[in-house]
Amino acid sequence: MKKVLTIAGSDSGGGAGIQADIKTMTVHQVYGASVITAVTAQNTLGVQDVKTLSARAVSSQLESVLNDIEFSALKTGMLANSEIIEEVALKIKKYSLSNLVVDPVMVATSGDLLLKKAAVKTYKEKLFPLAEIITPNLHEAKVLAGLEAEKSIDLEQLAAELMKFGSNYVLIKGGHSSQNNQSRKAVDLLYDGSYFRKFEAEYIETNNTHGTGCTLSAAIASNLAKGMEMGKAVAEAKDYLTEAIRNHFIVGQGNSPVNHVWNLK
């Protein structure tokens, strides 16, 4: 069984972050290990509190797992601040890790901030050049490109801007913005520096999408670990996620998570 590492925050509610990643990896039949960056007090209603670990605590967790276990892929989720991003980048270089999926988490679905503003620059300078793929949502993509949130921009142009930071692929997720479009499709755009490829799925009419981004990036990392090429890894991850959204069940009083185990009978 291939081993996959997630470096992310804990969601006490179980729908996003480390918990979403491990569930996703498990149903993809890869072994999931976790390095925790922050402990969020979180539920389906929002984020009530955040305790970010020291970069040193993140570093020692990384040393423990990387010294011992050989990973075929890894993903990052909530990294919280510049110090942690730098530490993660150092270890990825030290251990020559490949198949890095970077989900540049900035805010929770509930709107709560999960990244210090100054860390945006560190992402671009230190981590993106090491990434196989970065998976920003539309909002994150605009912030990374230094654009105002309200400004409308051609998605292909935006993806091309983000490729300049040195990853091998950029995937811009259109999920949340699909609510406002005419086509009722959840469209994501993949760019490899030469070709654009659109991934279209049915847009599912629901607010129960807590953890969609985490789940997608964990599924992509799992698929890369199993040796899939990027186009197939993204296509299969999106199919898995669309069904996980469709098959959601009510967990709490707010935005419920996706059903990570929909395909287990």
Ligand X SMILES: Nc1ncnc2c1ncn2[C@@H]1O[C@H](COP(=O)(O)OP(=O)(O)OP(=O)(O)O)[C@@H](O)[C@H]1O
Contact residues: ligand X, CB under 6 A? 16, 109, 137, 173-176, 186, 188, 201, 203-204, 206, 209, 211-214, 216, 238, 241-242, 245
Q: How far apart are alpha carbons 67 and 6 in whole angstroms?
A: 16
Q: How far apart are alpha carbons 120 and 137 in whole angstroms?
A: 14
Q: Is 11 in the site for ligand HMH (CB under 6 A)?
A: yes
Q: How far apart are alpha carbons 219 and 56 in whole angstroms?
A: 28
For residues 218 and 224, which CB has a smaller minimum distance to ligand HMH in the complex? 218
Q: How far apart are alpha carbons 242 and 71 in whole angstroms?
A: 27
77 binds, among ligand HMH, ligand X, none (CB under 5 to 8 A by kind): ligand HMH
Return the residue of 24, 40, 209, 223 that touches ligand HMH, per CB under 6 A.
40
Q: How far apart are alpha carbons 117 and 33 in whole angstroms?
A: 28
Give ∠ CA 179-203-172 in degrees, rounded to 5.
Answer: 75
Return the residue of 84, 145, 214, 221 that touches ligand HMH, per CB under 6 A.
214
Q: At what angle do helices 82-94 and 55-68 cross, to 10 degrees?
A: 20
- Tracing tokens 């520096």 back to the chain, one arrives at 193
Is residue 213 part of the annotated active site? The answer reads yes
Is residue 193 part of the annotated active site? The answer reads no
Q: How far apart are alpha carbons 220 and 157 in whole angstroms?
A: 23
Is residue 9 part of the annotated active site? The answer reads no
Q: Which residue is nearest to ligand HMH (CB)?
A: 17
Q: Is 175 in the site for ligand HMH (CB under 6 A)?
A: no
For residues 47 and 163, which CB has a smaller minimum distance to ligand HMH in the complex? 47
Q: Is 79 in the site for ligand HMH (CB under 6 A)?
A: no
- Tracing tokens 């270089």 back to the chain, one arrives at 93
Q: Which residue is nearest to ligand X (CB)?
A: 213
Q: Mapping DSSP to helix (H, G, I), strand (E, B) and coil, where does residue 88 land?
A: helix
Is residue 164 part of the annotated active site? The answer reads no
Provide the residue type at 66 as one letter. Answer: L
Q: How far is the CB of 42 from ligand X (least distance, A)?
A: 12
Q: Is 108 in the site for ligand HMH (CB under 6 A)?
A: yes
- Tracing tokens 């959204």 back to the chain, one arrives at 245
Active site residues: 173, 209, 211-214
* Interacting residues toward ligand HMH by CB under 6 A: 8-9, 11, 16-17, 40, 42, 77-78, 105, 108-109, 114, 211, 213-214
